[in-house]
Amino acid sequence: MTRTHLPTTVALRVVVSLAQHGTVSSAAQALHLTQSAVSKQLKSIEELAGMCLFTRTSRGLAPTEAGVIYIEQARLALGALETAAVRLAGLRSSQPTIRLHVLPILGDRWFMPRFSRFAELHPRIDIQFTTFAPSDTLEEADAVFRFGDGTWPGWDANYVLGRDVVLASSPHLIARNGGLNAADDVRNFPVLDHLQTPLRWSDFGAACGFSDFRPPRVIRFGYYALVIRAAISGQGLALVPRSLILDELASGQLVNPLGLGFSSKNGYWLTTPASRPLHADLAILRDWILSEARQSEGRV
């Protein structure tokens, strides 16, 4: 008889974060835990599941068939919990809470690190975050980060950042591959692609005037964090919104020697339901976000 032991909620977050980040260490960082803690959580949930959820590769972890199933359900479970929290926040009429839906990569790499400053500036404003909430509950949110070209019927959209897409590579990869001295050299490099935003490389090729751009190898990933990680470890060239890799560019982990890149039609936007009037606190938050974004992208 199977003991009806349930996983912990942090184990669920661990599993999801592992899938997104591909290594125990970076998942841990995203969760504000140590590598040790995450490793143990992973072990315990795999024991509970009775099978491996991730295969250990030399570069990190990749979900197994079972892992894919588990991750999917873990997201659903976390989404339900977020939905509950959001709806309760909606009931609390006395102290209005801003319900903000964030996207994984944008939240991890740009928004959350900066948000603590906002929280200090405006300790009175209460914000409820969601990231796993199912898409049919998004209209309950007061503001939603989205990726696209800015047209979402029924929503007012403010451009945040992300249209400034740059080529990024590990310096070692460039050295190993005979250098990157002209745009045309890009053709000799393997490239990293993101399954959900697949047009990046053809857009880039067009911007560079390549008539026919066929990289020697394309490696695809399901999460942008994996693309960035793979770029850092020298697996190929990546195209990434500059604002998401400011730290890596500054530290030299990633470089863009020729300053290649292009201006994308798509970027990250902050959207608010057009039907609802904008609450004063929400306007403050929005303006702060837009101002931070201008700073990150160097638009004065």
Partner DNA sequence: TGCGGCTATTCCATTTCGGACTACCTTCGA
Partner DNA sequence: TCGAAGGTAGTCCGAAATGGAATAGCCGCA
User: How many residues at the interface with a second copy, by CB under 8 A?
Assistant: 42
- Report the partner that residue 55 touches, choosing among a second copy, DNA, none (CB closer than 5 to 8 A by kind): none
- Report the partner that residue 41 touches, choosing among DNA, a second copy, none (CB closer than 5 to 8 A by kind): DNA
Our finding on whether 51 is near a second copy (CB under 8 A) is: yes
Nearer to DNA by Cβ, of 16 and 24: the residue is: 24
User: Which of 213, 229, 217, 190 has its CA nearest to residue 262?
Assistant: 213
Question: For residue 267, what are the β-bridge partners?
Answer: 148
| 27, 20 Cβ separation under 8 angstroms | yes
- Report the partner that residue 121 touches, choosing among DNA, a second copy, none (CB closer than 5 to 8 A by kind): none
User: How many residues at the interface with DNA, by CB under 7 A?
Assistant: 30
Rg of the chain over Cα atoms, rounded to whole angstroms, equals 21
Our finding on whether 263 is near a second copy (CB under 8 A) is: no
Our finding on whether 284 is near a second copy (CB under 8 A) is: no
Our finding on whether 61 is near DNA (CB under 7 A) is: yes
Nearer to DNA by Cβ, of 158 and 233: the residue is: 233
- Which position among 127, 227, 232, 254 is part of the footprint of a second copy (CB under 8 A)? 127
| 102, 145 Cβ separation under 8 angstroms | yes
Show Cβ contacts of residue 82 under 8 Å, excluding neighbours closer than 6 positions: 130, 131, 132, 133
SS3 content of the chain, % helix, strand, coil (to 5): 50, 20, 35
HSE, CB side, 13 Å, CA atoms: give it for residue 256.
18
Min dist. Cβ of residue 197 to a second copy (A): 27
User: Which of 290, 288, 274 has its CA nearest to residue 142?
Assistant: 274
Min dist. Cβ of residue 138 to DNA (A): 29
- Which position among 29, 44, 62, 126 is part of the footprint of a second copy (CB under 8 A)? 126
Burial of 217 (0-12, 13-18, 19+ CB in 10 A): exposed
- Convert residues 68-97 into a mask of x (bound to a second copy by CB under 8 A) and - (unbound): -xx-xxx-xxx-xx-xxx-xxx-xx----x
| 173, 217 Cβ separation under 8 angstroms | no
Our finding on whether 121 is near a second copy (CB under 8 A) is: no
Our finding on whether 266 is near DNA (CB under 7 A) is: no
| 185, 179 Cβ separation under 8 angstroms | yes
Residues that bind DNA (CB under 7 A): 8, 10, 23-26, 32-37, 39-44, 56, 58-61, 172-173, 175-176, 229, 233-234
